[in-house]
């Protein structure tokens, strides 16, 4: 199976596309991806001056985007859009900064026609940076 480019699946675009590459995919079940942080991202300038740190909420968004790839590549959800319904058990374990490669893994734990849940993890060099549970609603894209 050829892996899709994130922008071929997601409606997100720069500066709010936080997945550079899909590295594994089982449609409707799980997905993995990578976000390569160059240091040129605008948020590093203010978060924090002198100690650039990837905001935890953006790590959660990156997890959600990888989850959306797992969902949207499932034929049952063609023409749909998953929207955040909630975020539980978010934990931030490690700082992430310029030059880091954030690896992201998401597994869907429950899917229906209108909603779903998933769990995600993001890390750097095998070290956990963030984990969370996602809840989302599924709406028509248009």
pLDDT of residue 112: 95
In a domain, 44, yes or no: yes
Flag whether the pTM goes above 0.95.
Answer: yes
Q: Which pLDDT score is estimated for 142?
A: 83
Q: What is the tens place of the pLDDT at every residue in 17-56?
A: 999 999 999 999 999 999 999 999 999 999 999 999 999 9
Q: What is the rounded end-to-end Cα distance, in angstroms, of the chain?
A: 28
**Per-residue pLDDT at 1 exceeds 90:** no
Contacts of 80 (CB under 8 A, 6+ apart): 71, 72, 138, 139, 140, 141
Q: Could you tell me if residue 7 is inside a domain?
A: no
117 lies in a domain?
yes
Any domain includes 6: no
Give the domain extent around 112.
Answer: 13-140
| Residue 122 included in any domain | yes
CATH number at residue 98: 3.10.129.10
Does the residue 5 lie in any domain?
Answer: no
Number of domains in the chain: 1
Does residue 66 belong to any structural domain of this protein? yes
- Cα–Cα distance between 78 and 113 in angstroms, integer? 11
Catalytic residue IDs = 47
User: Could you report the per-residue pLDDT of 49-77, keeping only the tens digit for each?
Assistant: 999 999 999 999 999 999 999 999 999 99
The candidate with the shortest Cα–Cα distance to 68, out of 80, 84, 78, 82, is: 82
| Cα dihedral across residues 107, 22, 124, 91: positive or negative | negative
The pLDDT tens digits of the residues spanning 111-134 come to 999 999 999 999 999 999 999 999
């Amino acid at each position: 199976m050829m892996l899709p480019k994130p922008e071929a699946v997601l409606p997100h675009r720069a500066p709010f596309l936080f997945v550079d590459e899909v590295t594994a995919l089982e449609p409707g079940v799980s997905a993995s991806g990578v976000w390569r942080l160059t240091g040129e991202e605008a948020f590093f300038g203010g978060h924090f001056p002198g100690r650039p740190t990837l905001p935890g909420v953006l790590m959660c968004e990156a997890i959600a985007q990888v989850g959306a790839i797992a969902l949207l590549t499932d034929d049952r959800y063609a023409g749909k859009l998953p929207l955040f319904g909630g975020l539980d058990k978010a934990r931030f374990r490690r700082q992430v900064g310029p030059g880091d490669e954030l690896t992201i893994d998401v597994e869907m734990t429950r899917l229906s026609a209108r909603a779903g849940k998933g769990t995600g993890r993001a890390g750097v060099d095998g070290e956990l940076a963030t984990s969370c549970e996602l809840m989302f609603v599924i709406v028509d894209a248009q």
